[in-house]
Amino acid sequence: MALDLSGKKYAQVSYEEKERLFNEVKADLRYEEYLYGCYECGICVAACPSARFYDFSPRKIAQAVAREDIDLVYTLMNDSIWDCSQCFSCDRCPRKNSPGGIITIMREVAVKNGLASAQAALEGYGRVVYKIMSTGTQVSPDMLQPSAFPDWGPHVKEISNNLDVWRRALPPETLHTTETGWQVDDKTLIELYLIWHMTGVMDMIKEVDEGLFMILQDVMEERLEEAGYDVSFE
């Protein structure tokens, strides 16, 4: 769908709310290093893989932010930043901007504030997040849900129906990590839970996915209690 930058799309959201979010972006410590001015040279766009596939432009991000156009930044924060693949090819900017870095900050603000777009964008990752955060270890091939990744193409859905059969047809073992990858030392796991608690990661999850938060909360609180910590995520 074409990106609507007319400024009318989010007219129902108050200017003050948009401004509050933008100020949160600007208050990030990295902001000063990620944005200077913009030449309109388009070097970032030409380097950007996402720009090839979506109606997406790192230059528009840099411009909107540099111009401090609050309505525009809000629109981009909702409708554009999730198209970035965070590869940082745009870091070759002659003004030393990092559009990808600015997007990182914008995404964090979007997640922290539970913007609907952030919820939608992260929906497909629920299982991944659950697995990683509850077990403290990596993603395995059985965890990705094709329905959440439209950019994988239409045939992926078809293939995924008989994935077990396909996998068995392959000479190398592809699913061993689903069994072996989850052995995490108790102490490490407890420390990870504490870090996620103390750094506000759990708060962020609560903002974007209440259901996921509740499941994780159950798992974590119980383990922490066993380990002798009296931690509440509320």
Give the interface with ligand SF4 as residue ranges (CB under 6 A). 38-44, 47-50, 58-59, 62, 84-90, 93-95, 97, 99-100, 103
The total of other beta-carbon atoms located within 10 Å of residue 93's CB is 22
231 binds, among ligand SF4, other proteins, none (CB under 5 to 8 A by kind): none
Distance from C-alpha of 107 to C-alpha of 34, rounded to nearest angstrom: 14
- Is there binding between residue 66 and other proteins (CB under 8 A)? yes
Per-residue buried b or exposed e for 117-127, using 16+ beta carbons within 10 Å of the residue's own CB: bbeebbeebbe
The smaller minimum CB distance to ligand SF4, of residues 38 and 216, is found at: 38
Q: How far is the CB of 19 from ligand SF4 (least distance, A)?
A: 23
88 binds, among other proteins, ligand SF4, none (CB under 5 to 8 A by kind): ligand SF4
Three-state secondary-structure class, residue 32: helix
Binding test (CB under 8 A) with other proteins, winner from 65, 72, 81, 90: 72
The smaller minimum CB distance to ligand SF4, of residues 105 and 216, is found at: 105
The smaller minimum CB distance to other proteins, of residues 68 and 222, is found at: 68
Three-state secondary-structure class, residue 74: helix
Are 86 and 106 within 8 A, CB to CB? no
- Is there binding between residue 59 and other proteins (CB under 8 A)? yes
Computed on alpha carbons and rounded to an integer, the radius of gyration of the chain in Å comes to 20
